[in-house]
C-alpha cells in the first residue's frame, strides 16, 4: 500500500502504472477492520495514510472528557448532572469506539470540519455530491469514508477487502441508500493532505471488474461448490448409509465367494488325486494279478476310469 505523500518524485512503480494507463487498487491506502477501531480506519482512509493511532485518538477523547467535566463542574460537583457525567466516557470505550466529537477534533488538526449532509443548512446550498471531495458515514458505532481520488469516487469502508469504485452517476443513489438505512452522513470540508494516489488518478482511471467482498465473506463459487458437495454427500448417505454395515456385507460376500471357490478347487484336486491312484492301482492289479491275490480287488474298470477323468477335465 502507498501511504501519504508529498509532491515529490514519482516512484518507478507509479511511473510504470501511469505510463501504461493502469493502476492496481492497492495503490490506494485502505485500512481493514481490526477490532472496533473503525474510527481510526475511517480517518486514515480519508487522509490516505497512517495519521492516527488508537493512543492518539484516546488522548483526544480524554481531553474532551476533561473539558466537559470542567464545564459540568461549574453547575456544582454535587449536582445530579455532574454525578451522571462521571460515568464511563461517552467519547470512547474499551472496544476502541470513538465518538463523532473525537473524529471532528482529530480533523481540526488538519484544518478540516464536518457538516451534516442532510441538515437544512447544507441542503439549502444545493451542492451536487460529486462536487464534494469526501464524506464520512456513521451507523450506530461504525464509521467509514467515501472519498474522491483523482476523478473517481471510492468507498473506503474498512469492512471491505479493498476499495470499492463508485461511479459519479451512482454516488447520489449510494448516499441516499445509506440515509434510508439509517446512516448519518457528514461532508468533509477543507483541503485534504496531498497523496500520491490522488495525483496518479488525476492522470488515469481505475477499472474494477468485481466488487470487493466483505471481510469474512465466502466467495459465491466456493459457497455453491460446498452446497453442491453437501447435497451429494446427503444423497449418498440416504442411498448408502455410512454405518459400516454396507462395507462389511460386501467384504463378507466376497470372502464367502472366495472360500467356496477355494473349496471347489480343493475338492477337484482331491478327486483327481483319487482317480490317479485308482488308475495306478488298476494297472498294478492287471499286471500283478497272480502275485497280489491277498490284496482287495479294485472294482473299477478302465472305461469307468476314463469317463470319470473326462468329467473332471470338463469341470476344470
- Catalogue the active-site residues: 38, 142, 157
Place of cell 495519521: 51
Write out the DSSP string of the chain.
---B--S-PPPHHHHHHHHHT---GGGS--PPP-TT-HHHHHHHHHHTS----HHHHHHHHHHHHHHHHHHHHTT-TTSHHHHHHTSSPSSB-TTS-B-HHHHHHHHHTTT-EEEETTSHHHHHH---GGGS-EEEEEETTEEEEEEEETTEEEE--TTBSS-EEE-HHHHHHHHHHHHHTT-EEEEEESPPPPBHHHHHHHHS----SSPPPBTTPPPHHHHHHHHHHHHHHHHHHHHS--SSHHHHHHHHHHHHHHHHHHHHHHHHHHHHHHHHHHHHHHHHHHHSTTTTTTSPP----HHHHHHHHHHHHHH-
- Alpha-carbon distance of 116 to 118, in angstroms, equals 6
> Pairing relation of β-strands 142-149 and 134-139?
antiparallel
Helices 54-73 and 38-47: crossing angle in degrees, nearest 10, is 110
Task: Report the Cα 74 to chain-centroid distance in Å.
Answer: 54
Q: CA-CA distances (angstroms) from residue 211 to 205, 214, 241, 280?
A: 16, 9, 42, 93
Amino acid at each position: 500500500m502507498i501511504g501519504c505523500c508529498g509532491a515529490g518524485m514519482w516512484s518507478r512503480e507509479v511511473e510504470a502504472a501511469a505510463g501504461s494507463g493502469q493502476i492496481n487498487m492497492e495503490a490506494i491506502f485502505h485500512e481493514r477492520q481490526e477490532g472496533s477501531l473503525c474510527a481510526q480506519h475511517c480517518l486514515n482512509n480519508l487522509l490516505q495514510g497512517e495519521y492516527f493511532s488508537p493512543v492518539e485518538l484516546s488522548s483526544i477523547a480524554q481531553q474532551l472528557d476533561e473539558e466537559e467535566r470542567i464545564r459540568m463542574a461549574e453547575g456544582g460537583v454535587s449536582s445530579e448532572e455532574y454525578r451522571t457525567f462521571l460515568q464511563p466516557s461517552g467519547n470512547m470505550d474499551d472496544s476502541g469506539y470513538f465518538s463523532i466529537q473525537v473524529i471532528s477534533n482529530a480533523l481540526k488538526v488538519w484544518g478540516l470540519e464536518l457538516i451534516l449532509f442532510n441538515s437544512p443548512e447544507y441542503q439549502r446550498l444545493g451542492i451536487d455530491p460529486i462536487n464534494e471531495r469526501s464524506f464520512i458515514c456513521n451507523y450506530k458505532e461504525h464509521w467509514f469514508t467515501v472519498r474522491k481520488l483523482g476523478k473517481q469516487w471510492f468507498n473506503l469502508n474498512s469492512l471491505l477487502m479493498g476499495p470499492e469504485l463508485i461511479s459519479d452517476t451512482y454516488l447520489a443513489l449510494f448516499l441516499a441508500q445509506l440515509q434510508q438505512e439509517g446512516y448519518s452522513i457528514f461532508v468533509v470540508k477543507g483541503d485534504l493532505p496531498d497523496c500520491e494516489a490522488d495525483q496518479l488518478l488525476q492522470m488515469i482511471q481505475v477499472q474494477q471488474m468485481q466488487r470487493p467482498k466483505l471481510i469474512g465473506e465466502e466467495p459465491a463459487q466456493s459457497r455453491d461448490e460446498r452446497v453442491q458437495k453437501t447435497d451429494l454427500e446427503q444423497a449418498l448417505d440416504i442411498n448408502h448409509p455410512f454405518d459400516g454395515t454396507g462395507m462389511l456385507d460386501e467384504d463378507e460376500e466376497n470372502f464367502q465367494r472366495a472360500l467356496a471357490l477355494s473349496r471347489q478347487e480343493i475338492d477337484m484336486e482331491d478327486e483327481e488325486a483319487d482317480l490317479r491312484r485308482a488308475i495306478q492301482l488298476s494297472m498294478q492289479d492287471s499286471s500283478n494279478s497272480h502275485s497280489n491275490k491277498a490284496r482287495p480287488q479294485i472294482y473299477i474298470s478302465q472305461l469307468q476310469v476314463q469317463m470319470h477323468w473326462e468329467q473332471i477335465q470338463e469341470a476344470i
